[in-house]
């Protein structure tokens, strides 16, 4: 008899985006002349940078010629990309990361999902609330939680991000073993200071824990005092794995390229308490289960680090940040408490006592603007909405004008 992994049955069906689509469709049917502006989805809208497109074309031409054709590449990624990443993203900021500590992949979603299979199921996992749902669901699938009751899975430690802590979770008061952090944050758009991040690194050392640091939005950081990488913190290499992606900085959401950094000194422990290095384990997993990102895509990703690529990706993120600033300014002027939007494409907005969906319906029905209800990201998201800067400036201007007229 073939039996299933019953942990999958604990998963909560995610109706968030289906519910949003349903309400938007109903609104469109009732208001066919009213064009809806979408500031809900966490996907980029601008085309790939020229430098990447050129590199992609050239690499495709190489594949079309026997003399330059490439078959299977190294599973961990080509040296030209790993070296460019190590140099530009880490060494240039004083973080001593080597090329062979970079594992190129097809997405930070897959990597943040897959990493947890290196660890036992009886560890204590700490996950922020509100959160990118991938961290949560993959631990449910692996059997690290009990059933879902009253908005939460049993057996996990939730790290609340609320107004009281400025949406930066405080250290757990109990022992936890695996900690998920994401800064700049999705969905709240908040950032963490070096001092606060250093407290998490110190916690991990003290408690023999491991931090999984998702830095998918680092390219939006403009405040130079903020850490772009956890490895800017002393001692982080022993206790942290970092996830990066070309999705949000260079528009690779449909092109697919990302990477994970596993420093050679990063460690976990076996059941006797003996230290075990994570690098060889992740290398083994990656080589066994993954066959590398396609050569043309890696060439396109490497072009991000060319002079033109750097200028063009900065142009993209500058554009989204300009949208974010406008959203934050207008919503603040209307009297809403907002965080995020200055070093992040997301703005997290307090509904002034409204339920998340009530706030969603109000923006949709009165202004024709689609947001994401905060409750979809966890219990602490109730009462909030997320507005995203991923749209054209014209559309964001129009959306803010409409919200101003409807609510002002
Ligand atoms: C968009 C996003 C990613 C990137 O995922 P990819 O699979 O690389 O496209 C990772 N983490 C968070 C929190 C995100 O919002």
Query: In whole angstroms, what is the distance from residue 327 CA to residue 386 CA?
Result: 11
Per DSSP (E only), the strands in 176-305 are 178-182, 210-214, 240-245, 258-261, 267-269, 275-277
Which of the residue ranges 16-25, 76-85, 319-328 would you say has the lowest mean pLDDT? Answer: 16-25
Q: Which fold has domain 6-46+310-406?
A: 3.90.1150
- Nearest atom of ligand 1 to the alpha carbon of 185: 13
Question: Which two tokens mark 394?
Answer: 């014209």
Does residue 185 register a pLDDT over 80? yes
Does 250 sit in the ligand 1 pocket, CB within 6 Å? no
Q: Is 182 in the pocket of ligand 1 (CB under 6 A)?
A: yes
Q: Whose CA is nearest to atom 2 of ligand 1?
A: 216
Q: Which pLDDT band holds residue 75 (cuts at 50, 70, 90)? A: very high
- Cβ of 42 below 6 Å from ligand 1: yes
Residue 372, SS3 per DSSP:
strand
Helical (H) or strand (E) element with 201 = helix 194-207
Query: Please, how many CA atoms are within 13 Å of residue 139, restricted to the half-sphere of its CB?
Result: 30
- Is the C-beta atom of 386 inside 6 A of ligand 1? no
| pLDDT for residue 301 | 98
Task: Give me ligand 1 centre to Cα 216, in Å.
Answer: 6
The reply to whether ligand 1 has any atom less than 6 angstroms from the CB of 105 is no
Q: If we measure between CA atoms, which residue out of 312, 314, 232, 288 comes closest to residue 103?
A: 288
Q: Is the CB of 128 under 6 A from ligand 1?
A: no
Distance 32 CA to ligand 1 centre (A): 34
Q: Can 6-46+310-406 and 53-307 be said to share one CATH topology?
A: no
User: pTM for this one?
Assistant: 0.97
The ranges assigned to domains in the chain are 6-46+310-406, 53-307
- Residue 231 — very low, low, confident or very high, per pLDDT cuts 50/70/90? very high
Pocket lining: 258 vs ligand 1, CB cutoff 6 Å: yes
Q: Which atom of ligand 1 is nearest to the CA of 248?
A: 1
**β-strands 267-269, 275-277: how paired?**
antiparallel
Q: Confidence band (pLDDT; 50, 70, 90) for 165?
A: very high
Query: Could you give the C-alpha distances from 165 to 160, 168, 190, in angstroms and in order?
Result: 8, 6, 11
Q: Tell me the CA distances in angstroms from 403 to 116, 233, 336, 390, one per residue in order.
A: 42, 41, 12, 17
CATH class of 53-307: alpha beta
Residue 41 has pLDDT above 90, yes or no: no
Distance CA 364, CA 38 (A): 10
Report the pLDDT value the prediction gives residue 16, as an integer from 0 to 100.
85
- Does residue 321 sit in helix, strand or coil? helix
Residue environment code for 317-330, b if the CB has 16+ CB neighbours within 10 A, otherwise e:
beebbebbebbbeb
Helix axes 307-333 and 50-63, enclosed angle (nearest 10): 140
User: Per-residue pLDDT averaged across 342-355, rounded?
Assistant: 97
Lowest mean pLDDT among 31-35, 59-63, 302-306: 31-35
**Dist. CA 40–CA 346, nearest whole Å:** 10
Which is the closest atom of ligand 1 to the Cα of 245?
8
Q: 247 alpha carbon to ligand 1 midpoint, in Å?
A: 7
* Band of pLDDT at residue 110, cut at 50, 70 and 90: very high
What per-residue confidence (pLDDT) applies to 15? 77
């Amino acid at each position: 008899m073939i039996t299933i992994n019953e942990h999958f049955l604990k998963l909560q069906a995610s109706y968030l985006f289906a519910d949003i689509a349903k309400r938007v469709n109903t609104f469109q049917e009732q208001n066919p002349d009213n064009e809806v502006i979408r500031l809900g989805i966490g996907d980029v809208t601008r085309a790939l940078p020229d430098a990447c497109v050129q590199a992609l074309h050239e690499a495709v031409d190489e594949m079309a010629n026997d003399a330059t054709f490439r078959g299977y590449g190294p599973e961990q990624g080509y040296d030209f990309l790993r070296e460019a990443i190590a140099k530009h993203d880490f060494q240039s900021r004083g973080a001593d990361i080597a090329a062979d500590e970079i594992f190129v992949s097809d997405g930070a979603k897959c990597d943040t999902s897959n990493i947890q299979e290196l660890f036992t199921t009886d560890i204590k996992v700490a996950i922020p609330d509100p959160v990118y749902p991938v961290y949560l669901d993959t631990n449910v699938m692996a059997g690290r939680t009990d059933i879902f009751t009253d908005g939460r899975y049993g057996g996990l430690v939730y790290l609340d991000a609320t107004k009281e802590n400025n949406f930066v979770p405080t250290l757990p008061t109990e022992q936890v073993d695996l900690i998920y952090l994401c800064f700049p944050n999705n969905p709240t758009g908040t950032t963490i200071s070096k001092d606060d991040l250093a407290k998490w690194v110190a916690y991990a050392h003290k408690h023999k824990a491991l931090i999984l640091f998702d830095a998918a939005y680092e390219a939006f950081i403009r405040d130079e005092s903020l850490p772009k990488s956890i490895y800017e913190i002393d001692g982080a290499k022993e206790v942290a794995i970092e996830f990066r992606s070309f999705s949000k900085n260079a528009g690779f959401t449909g092109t697919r390229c990302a990477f994970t950094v596993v420093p050679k000194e990063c460690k976990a422990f076996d059941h006797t308490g003996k230290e075990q290095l994570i690098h060889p384990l992740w290398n083994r997993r990656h080589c066994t289960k993954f066959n590398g990102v396609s050569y043309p895509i890696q060439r396109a990703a490497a072009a991000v680090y060319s002079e033109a690529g750097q200028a063009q990706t900065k142009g993209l993120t500058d554009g989204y940040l300009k949208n974010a600033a406008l959203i934050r300014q207008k919503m603040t002027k209307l009297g809403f408490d907002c965080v995020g939007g200055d070093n992040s494409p997301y703005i997290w907005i307090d509904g002034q006592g409204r339920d998340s969906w009530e706030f969603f319906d109000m923006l949709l029905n009165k202004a024709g603007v689609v947001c994401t209800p905060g409750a979809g990201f966890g219990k602490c998201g109730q009462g909030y909405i997320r507005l995203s800067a991923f749209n054209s400036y014209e559309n964001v201007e129009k959306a803010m004008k409409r919200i101003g007229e409807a609510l002002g």
